[in-house]
Amino acid sequence: MAGEKREHKNIVIIGASIAGHECVNRLVPHLPSHLGIRVLLIDARSFAWWPITILRAVVVPGWEDKITIPLSTERVFKADSPHRVIAGNKVLELREGSVVLERPFEGSEEVPFFRCVIATGASQTIPTMPGWSQTEKEFIDSLRRSQRKIESAKRVVVVGGGAVGVEIAGEIAAHHPHKSVTIVHKDCGLLAPTPPNDVSIKIQKGGSAEVKSYFSPPTDPRLSVELGKICDKLGIAVILNDRVIIPIPTNSSFDDESKDNEVHPDGHFSTNTDGRVSEGDKVDSESKSIEWDGTFGLQPSLVTLRLESGKTLQADYVYPGCGVRPNSKLVGEVDEGALDDGLIRVDEYLKVTSTSHESIFKGQYYAIGDVCSCPGFKLARTAFVNASKTAGNIISEIKGKSPSKYSVGAISHLDLPLGPDEGAGMTNFGWLGTWVFGSKVTTRIRGKTSGTERFFAGRFRGEKKSEIVFD
């Protein structure tokens, strides 16, 4: 670890998405310049992507060009800045005072730091997010393929009626009104209907024991009802109190993991890797139905899905609206006690903490955003607030001042678009109760672009301009 790196005190931020990038933006202007501190923003991927509109990009042609920006030092930092972006380079290991990268940076895989912020977020199956090793172009191409596949499908089943499931069903139904779209959801209403008095208590507590899944936040039952009505309007069938039995697939769990897995223009399918349907085979999807093998995405023919109730459903496209996992493995590998049911355990300052006395986490690591156990919905706003608080606390530490405690705040907000013209949401005002609203308010909040220009492109403040232009 000799050489240039030693001249700097590094603040390492792992994850250049909403939480990590916002933390950088909040830190950099306030760093005392004479101390030789530099920020290293690391991301496994070579580009940033905007999760807020990804589900539209999965379905609607044209949107795939509006959700990615290459990650580079020039796009994130001003000219002559000491700070660096290390993109397309995964952090593989956390140590007490350093992180270990997949590939060398300045001649070494090991990067020392004096403070490290873990903002590694959560993962779900593609196409809902890019594969780890996909380039920006490959990701955009995969979105185009997914649009074509959804276009070619007739019967779509969405497994899970959490936020991802409801939103993707809405996008498909709004863009393809003649397709059959069905959501199967385990709960008695869409998302996670919770007795109204418990909603704010659960939001305030944090930890995955309270907010069980990222995309099924505790929901005022009136919001579940409102979403159900919108589904009705869009012609989406909703099956509640039931689950799809998901077999373990023999090959990939998503059709798109093979780039060869293309839809032919004549409507037939060929796969070169999994052998389910060979090139040129003609599948009469209306007359044959085979058992679903657990592979998500476009099916080789009409498949039969089995539900726990004993019911069956037929589909030629199965979308995973479930299965979001926090990217907390790095922490679990060095200290299981620093995990809280899969999320990184943080204290009231958002510092990583552990139940183990031999932990490497001694106050030098913070964890923010989707990956941490702090209270609040696992949503963009929480990531922004976490980031801002953490940047302030790091600056305080540098200046020898006391850090301040994190608070989720009294107001929590959630809104869900179901296509461009419909949607619903809720704002919880703590003990004052919850306001539930429908399409009119949701479409006004979201606008046409769901904040892409301001909150995504706008967070790139470097020398090189990053713009996303809408017509």
Ligand X SMILES: Cc1cc2nc3c(=O)[nH]c(=O)nc-3n(C[C@H](O)[C@H](O)[C@H](O)COP(=O)(O)OP(=O)(O)OC[C@H]3O[C@@H](n4cnc5c(N)ncnc54)[C@H](O)[C@@H]3O)c2cc1C
- How far, in Å, CA of 21 to CA of 448, rounded? 24
Angle 285-288-292 (CA atoms, 0-180°, nearest 5)? 85
CB of residue 103 vs ligand X: minimum separation in angstroms?
12
Asked if 54 interacts with ligand X (CB under 6 A), we say yes
Select the residue interacting with ligand X from 11, 12, 14, 183 (CB under 6 A): 14
What's the min distance (Å) between Cβ of 301 and ligand X?
Answer: 28
Considering only 12, 13, 18, 39, the residue that binds ligand X (CB under 6 A) is 18
By rule CB under 6 A, what string of x and - marks binding of each residue 251-290 to ligand X? ----------------------------------------
Work out whether strand 9-14 and strand 37-43 pair parallel, antiparallel, or are unpaired: parallel
CA 108 to chain centre: 30
Q: Is 13 among the residues that bind ligand X (CB under 6 A)?
A: no
Q: Hey, which residues between 354 and 383 contact ligand X (CB under 6 A)? A: 369-371, 378-381, 383
Secondary structure class of 99 (helix, strand, coil): strand
Nearer to ligand X (CB atom), residue 126 or residue 164: 164
213/271 with CB nearer ligand X:
213
Task: Tell me which of 12, 27, 39, 52 binds ligand X, using CB under 6 A.
Answer: 52
Q: How far is the CB of 368 from ligand X (least distance, A)?
A: 7
Of 270, 295, 292, 291, residue with least CA distance to 281: 270
Peptide bond preceding 375 in cis form (omega within 30 of 0):
no
Pair 173, 234: CB distance under 8 Å: yes
From 26, 66, 90, 276, residue interacting with ligand X (rule: CB under 6 A): 90
Q: Which of residues 280-339 bind ligand X (CB under 6 A)?
A: 327, 330
Strands 98-105 and 91-94: antiparallel
When the beta carbons of 42 and 398 are compared against ligand X, the nearer one is 42
Give the nearest distance from C-beta 286 to ligand X in angstroms: 32
Considering beta carbons, is residue 172 or 303 the nearer one to ligand X? 172
Paired strand residues for 182: 157, 237
Identify the three-state secondary structure at position 470.
coil
256 vs 274 by CB, closer to ligand X: 256
Q: What is the CA radius of gyration of the chain?
A: 23
Ranges within 383-442 binding ligand X (CB under 6 A) = 383
Rounded least distance, CB 119 to ligand X, Å: 5
Query: What would you measure as the largest C-alpha separation in the chain, in angstroms?
Result: 74
State the minimum distance, in angstroms, from the CB of residue 35 to ligand X: 26
Give the nearest distance from C-beta 239 to ligand X in angstroms: 22
H/E segment holding residue 321: none
Q: Which of 8, 20, 37, 261 binds ligand X (CB under 6 A)?
A: 20
* Those residues with Cβ within 8 angstroms of residue 191's Cβ, 6 or more apart along the chain or in another chain: 161, 162, 163, 166, 216, 217, 219, 223, 224, 227
In whole angstroms, the minimum distance from the beta carbon of 7 to ligand X comes to 24
- 15 lies in the site for ligand X, by CB under 6 A: yes
- CA–CA separation, 143 vs 147, rounded Å? 6
- Closer residue to ligand X, CB minimum distance, 300 or 326: 326
The candidate with the shortest Cα–Cα distance to 226, out of 190, 181, 177, is 190
Nearer to ligand X, 217 or 392 (CB): 217
CB 113 within 8 A of CB 97: yes
Shortest separation between residue 236's beta carbon and ligand X, angstroms: 17
Shortest distance, CB of residue 174 to ligand X, whole angstroms?
15
Residue 457 in tokens: 């492109």
112-171 residues near ligand X, rule: CB under 6 A? 119-122, 124, 128-129, 164
Other Cβ atoms closer than 10 A to 419: 23
Return the closest-CA partner of residue 99 out of 357, 364, 340: 364
CB of 285 to ligand X, least distance (A): 28
Minimal CA–CA distance to 116: which of 279, 352, 315, 327? 352
Q: Which of 16, 28, 140, 153 binds ligand X (CB under 6 A)?
A: 16
Angstrom distance (rounded) from CA 95 to CA 215? 31
Identity of the residue, 15 or 228, whose beta carbon is nearer to ligand X in the bound complex? 15
Considering beta carbons, is residue 44 or 436 the nearer one to ligand X? 44
* Sheet containing 312-320: order of strands: 236-239, 180-184, 155-159, 312-320, 297-306, 289-291
Q: Is 59 in the site for ligand X (CB under 6 A)?
A: no
Binder among 11, 12, 13, 19 for ligand X (CB under 6 A):
19
Shortest distance, CB of residue 312 to ligand X, whole angstroms? 28
390: nearest Cα among 51, 8, 13: 13
Q: Which stretches of the chain bind ligand X, using CB under 6 A?
A: 14-20, 42-45, 51-52, 54-55, 90-91, 119-122, 124, 128-129, 164, 327, 330, 369-371, 378-381, 383
